[in-house]
Structure 1
């Protein structure tokens, strides 16, 4: 498949893939990133997808220091991948990844953070994210508008119907300047903020990240049934690529 990023302006892009979690909601015998999916593991699909983007010189994969599965995977020996120790929470793992390239990354380099449990992200979505944000000072994220009716519930009862016209689901990759993201995460942790994704830390700085329309198929695997859905999406994508 032709790499859609080849024609993009040549800049330095770092990719951080936090993968130190245990995925307890999957009720499996191993972290969800190592569960089988369409002939490989979830993490292999995710990393192989990112590796097709030749614009990404380095992928940093944040793993638990006790991880006993990674070394058995062929992708672990790819010379574009650097393993580093993750932290207790996702934000700690991302911050450790930023520290791992301290002194190597320039302040204005781009950093893309992508959930390891989103193996169905498409090259087209990544390409659109980079093209739309390439000249942005703030950066932004992939997402999709909320399609369902949203209810506010208190003590098990509906108390309000929320206006969904301005609501979006936040996906990844999320793409920000290296120094800006580093400052935002450090400041957020110091102030005790709840940092659920990189964009929330950037928002706390008083700036507004851009939202880039992505595909609704870029699902995050969190429940057992998500694996079946991801396999359908990946199978359909492979059929399209082979035409």
Structure 2
């Protein structure tokens, strides 16, 4: 039996690089906001029943979102960093009611449903948290204005979301990592720091994150195809 899974979408403090009049999660994407498209995609996964959306306290756009008419959404105060936003949400989740939590970027609206379901199946089957990822295919270079080193790409992966972990373990890992001053770039990094195994579940490279204007056009292309 698949347990109940809570979903956290950190959507605070993003969108500053799009040179638009509003954060990127509120830009139009095929007739809805990016955040609405992301939520619609995840709602098609039946085991994701309760959503916690972390937004800035003074966010003027959130109250107008269409999905808020449903009862399965809870607004959470966003923090200064992604890790703080996710932890704020985790502190609102009953780990007995929702023993697993799925965290997904607000700006990844075209993740494939099959990939989300595969992540859930693999993690639950092994009782281990994990992330969607794809192997690095390009030659990797390290440097600033000039190449300093060619990095061996064997064993390197692009880390995506969703990321799925046991709720209580992730809450403790994030709390301890932040208290220790660890740089937490995603949920997996906190779990790694805490010594917990993290599965790499192969997904698709079209699970793009919208960070530039051209990404919005590409997301539109993928969304219209799927």
| Other-structure match for 1:144 | 134
Deviation at 1:225, TM superposition (A): 0.7
TM-score (norm 1): 0.90
Q: For residues 116 and 177 of structure 1, what CA distance do their matches in structure 2 show?
A: 21
Contact in 1 for aligned 2:4/2:97 (Cα 8 Å): no
Q: For residues 222 and 172 of structure 2, what CA distance do their matches in structure 1 show?
A: 36
Which ranges of structure 1 fall in alignment gaps of 5 or more residues?
A: 1-8, 238-243
Q: For residues 40 and 58 of structure 2, what CA distance do their matches in structure 1 show?
A: 23
1:171 aligns with 2:160: yes
Q: For residues 108 and 69 of structure 1, what CA distance do their matches in structure 2 show?
A: 28
Deviation at 1:107, TM superposition (A): 8.7
| Other-structure match for 2:19 | 27
Q: For residues 187 and 136 of structure 1, what CA distance do their matches in structure 2 show?
A: 25
Secondary structure at the aligned position of 2:125 is classed as coil
From 30, 43, 46, the counterpart of 1:38: 30
Please list the CA deviations of residues 34-85 of structure 1 after superposition, one character each: whole Å capped at 9, or x if unmatched. 0011111100000011111121120111111101111112112221111111
Secondary structure at the aligned position of 1:144 is classed as strand
Q: For residues 107 and 206 of structure 1, what CA distance do their matches in structure 2 show?
A: 25
From 87, 90, 95, the counterpart of 1:98: 90
| Other-structure match for 2:50 | 58
1:69 aligns with 2:61: yes
1:230 aligns with 2:185: no
From 125, 145, 166, the counterpart of 2:115: 125
Q: For residues 184 and 148 of structure 2, what CA distance do their matches in structure 1 show?
A: 27
Deviation at 1:148, TM superposition (A): 1.1
Secondary structure at the aligned position of 2:126 is classed as coil
Q: Give the ranges of 4+ consecutive aligned residues of structure 1 lying more than 4 Å apart after TM superposition.
A: none
Q: For residues 151 and 182 of structure 2, what CA distance do their matches in structure 1 show?
A: 25
| Other-structure match for 1:116 | 106
From 54, 73, 96, the counterpart of 1:81: 73
Please list the CA deviations of residues 149-179 of structure 1 after superposition, one character each: whole Å capped at 9, or x if unmatched. 101115x221221111111000001000011
Contact in 1 for aligned 2:56/2:79 (Cα 8 Å): yes
Which ranges of structure 2 fall in alignment gaps of 5 or more residues?
A: none
TM-score (norm 2): 0.96
Specify whether residues 107 and 79 from structure 1 end up closer, same or farther in structure 2 by C-alpha distance, changes over 3 A only: closer
Q: For residues 50 and 152 of structure 1, what CA distance do their matches in structure 2 show?
A: 35
Contact in 2 for aligned 1:107/1:179 (Cα 8 Å): no
| Other-structure match for 2:6 | 14
Please list the CA deviations of residues 116-165 of structure 1 after superposition, one character each: whole Å capped at 9, or x if unmatched. 000001110111001111133331100111111101115x2212211111
Contact in 2 for aligned 1:33/1:117 (Cα 8 Å): yes
Q: How many residues align?
A: 226
Q: For residues 69 and 225 of structure 1, what CA distance do their matches in structure 2 show?
A: 23
